[in-house]
Amino acid sequence: MIKQNIQTLLDKEMDRKKFLAFSGTIILGIIGITGLTNLIFKSHGSPQIVTQNNQHPIQTSGYGGFTYGDK
């Protein structure tokens, strides 16, 4: 079945403009599908520590990581 679909596609008459549009659509579709799967399955780094009241994450490093006078 796939072989027949490819053969009918190859037998189809196209000019250069239609071929480039078709090829561009295929390439954009592949890029879009891979980007979407990467977005879905990619982890977003380490999880943040959240306070008990779930308002603001606790910052453990960098500016503001310590209270005044602690180090």
Give the residues across from 50 on adjacent strands: 57
Q: pLDDT tens string for the chain (71 positions)?
A: 888 988 888 888 989 999 999 999 999 999 998 888 888 877 555 455 555 555 655 555 666 555 665 55
The whole-angstrom separation of Cα 8 and Cα 6 is: 6
The whole-angstrom separation of Cα 24 and Cα 21 is: 5
Residue 59, domain member (yes or no): no
Considering its fold, how many domains does the chain have in total? 1
Residue 37, domain member (yes or no): yes
The angle subtended at Cα 61 by Cα 40 and Cα 53, nearest 5°, is: 70
- Report pTM: 0.47
The whole-angstrom separation of Cα 61 and Cα 29 is: 41
Residue 15, domain member (yes or no): yes
Residue 18, domain member (yes or no): yes
Residue 46, domain member (yes or no): no
Give the structural domain span for 9.
2-41
- Phi/psi for 57 (5° steps) reads -70, 150
